[in-house]
A and B are shown apart, each in its own frame.
Chain A
Amino acid sequence: MLLSKARTDEFFFRGITGAFALLVIIGVVAIGVELVRESRLSIQEFGWQFWQTDTWNPVAGQFGARPFIWGTLYSSLLALLISTPIALGIAIFISELCPAWMRWPLVFLTELLAAIPSIVYGLWGIFVLVPFVRSLEVATPEWMRAIPLFSGPPLGVGMLAAALILSIMVIPFSSSVAREVLKAVPQAQREGAYALGATRWEAIRMALFYARTGIVGAVMLGFGRALGETMAVTMVIGNSPQINWSLYKPQYTMAAVIANEFTEATDDLHLHALIEIGMVLFIITLIVNMISRMFIWSMARQRKPRAAAAPPVAAKATA
């Protein structure tokens, strides 16, 4: 009697919670399907050429996404390069180095960076960051300007401004996850390192190595955030579709072109082309998240046997 009730209860519990989980999955799949459906005109018209052409001409009805894919990837990778050392530095400082009373306020402050709306970042970008970048560009010596990386007229808006604003926006995400990951490193590991005579940095390096897959996952999460950022980027990047290594030249990202042209587009092909760009972005975000997930999972699987061996020490570490 008791057994069968337990079994039906279990069945309902699993069924209902599972249904909600299924709902989330269906939701994501629905978004993907809707994206494909609403871009079918463009897919039919251009096929794979869409990913390889540089033209974006709403008048002639010629659309190619390559400059936007370039702009998105370049700006996000630059943002990653700039933000990762800073985010890691913050994570290390908060989890390993700072006194306990400083922890709470610092965590709060870094999370505050994440809480600022992106339109505020965009407005600050136009009025403060862009003039600052312009003065940097004007002050660049001639010999530096000869390098293709720094070529171009000093406009202020461009890849450099976009990379800077993206890195500021990404820092809180990467650093929070990295901090959580470092917190999970068993204290026994650190104590062992100190017992062997390690300096502060060497103990940190050991912790970083132990948590390496999780750290990579944290960095990838920040990357995913940078890929999708719209408002702040479009206000400082110069919005010119071109493929160029130069940091000073204005370029264009996928999210920015959708935001700029979507409400005004009336031609069906134009609309579908914009949504196809959204689909490309969706696919790239999917791939990035897949890779970051794989890293975090392998880290989690590694943790279990060791955590079981030292529970009281682990409990002290999380406190």
Chain B
Amino acid sequence: MRLRHTAAVALAAATIAGATLVAQQINGAGATFPDPIYQKWFAEYNRLKSAVQINYQPQGSGAGIKQITSRTVFFGASDQPMTPEQLQAAPGRILHFPTVLGGVVPIYNIPGVTAELKFTGPLIADIFLGKITKWNDPAIGKVNAGVNLPNTDIVVVRRADGSGTTFIFADFLAKVSPEWKQKVGVNNALQWPTGVGAKGSDGVTGQVKQTPGAIGYVELTFAIANKLSYGSVQNSAGQFVRASTESVTAAAEAAVKQMPADFRVSITNPPGNAAYPLASFTWLLLYEDAPDKKQAATMVEFVKWALTDGQKFAAPMGYAPLPKAVVDLEMKALEKVKVK
């Protein structure tokens, strides 16, 4: 008993000593997709302003929304906008700020095929619905004339864990396939009609690489970082577009005209010739009126930096920078956050 007492006192002394040395640390949690660029931003910003330490943990979009709602972290991050019910449940008004853009690409492993395949939206939906089961199905051959597709079974590989990537993927498929919308729907975790569930994009990539005839989906950043080959997808203008930072930014540009004031918008299957159809914003979530005004002021300054100077780090890492029109709208919206 006594030993425990002295130990507790010693520990308290050490932590008080530790606390006085620590700079202002702000905690955030949320999506795994933007984690690499967020960590880059926080490190760069820390170099500029050494007193600001932002601790972000990629626990998942859902966790981010949960944590900011229960105020266990100061800011959240999500690959999908909060639903009206979630906004209602929060103790205060939560504002969304798009920070960067990302895309989802289809990856595949077909023995003997090295060409880049073309997919239409309905085609992908039918494959993932389990309606098309072989690679030499005429529907696939129709858009890939000249490619010798073998008579191999298609093995669908999807995400087992809930993820923003799944949300974007499902969001797109629901727009191009009424059957998908009715049977499966849109969420970060789904009841998949077929396929094997792999854990994380890493798991999907590993499974696809090991399984002949497999098809899966991963983030563009992941495909670039791991030098994976991926197919092109047909957009709403009928063009087959290969995902790249340019084509993803083009998708956002097309959506600027209908941008709602709170930035909660889906930009999958947008208009525009050069737009990549499987693109999405990722958002930073901040309270309009947070109790800690100092942290709010720090975060607003950081977001302003991220939207301007920070964007130059995006493309080298595989993220698409925001179009200028969106950044302008956001700078104005940032003034809504109360910093005094």
Q: Name the contact of B86 in the complex, choosing from A126, A240, A261, A266 (C-beta under 8 A).
A: A266
Is B207 within 8 A of A60, CB to CB? Answer: no
Interface size, chain B (Cβ < 8 Å): 35
B residues in contact with A127, CB < 8 Å: 206
Q: Which of A5-13, A50-58, A162-170, A300-308 contacts B (4 or more CB under 8 A)?
A: A50-58
Is B190 within 8 A of A59, CB to CB? Answer: yes
* A265 close to B (CB within 8 Å): yes
Is A153 within 8 A of B153, CB to CB? Answer: yes
Q: Name the contact of A58 in the complex, choosing from B86, B191, B206 (C-beta under 8 A).
A: B191
Q: Which of A97-136 contact B (CB under 8 A)?
A: 126-127, 130-131, 134
**A130-B210, A239-B197 known; A58+B189 contact, CB < 8 A:** yes
Is A263 within 8 A of B162, CB to CB? Answer: yes
Closest A-chain residue to B192, C-beta based?
A240
Q: Which of B37-45, B60-68, B276-284 contacts A (4 or more CB under 8 A)?
A: B60-68
A residues in contact with B160, CB < 8 Å: 234, 239, 256, 260
A173–B158 CA distance with the chains assembled, in angstroms:
34
Q: How large is the interface on A (under 10, 10 to 19, 20 to 34, 35 or more residues)?
A: 20 to 34
For B185, B191, B195, the residue with the greatest tally of chain A CB atoms inside 10 Å of its CB is B191
Q: Which of B205-219 contact A (CB under 8 A)?
A: 206-207, 210-211
Report the minimum CB–CB distance from B136 to chain A (whole Å).
17
Is B186 within 8 A of A264, CB to CB? Answer: no
Q: What 1/0 mask marks residues of chain B from 162 to 197 whose CB sits below 8 Å from any chain A CB?
A: 110000000000000000000011111111100111
Some 28 contacts from A to B, beta carbons below 8 A apart, are A57-B190, A58-B162, A58-B187, A58-B190, A59-B186, A59-B187, A59-B190, A60-B185, A126-B203, A131-B210, A134-B211, A156-B207, A157-B196, A234-B199, A238-B198, A239-B197, A240-B192, A240-B195, A260-B199, A263-B62, A264-B61, A264-B163, A264-B188, A264-B189, A265-B62, A265-B189, A266-B62, A270-B189
Q: Which residues of A contact B (CB under 8 A)?
A: 55-60, 126-127, 130-131, 134, 153, 155-157, 234-235, 238-240, 250, 252, 256, 259-261, 263-266, 270
When A and B form their complex, which 4 residue pairs have the shortest distance between CB atoms, in order from nearest? A264-B162, A239-B197, A239-B160, A59-B185
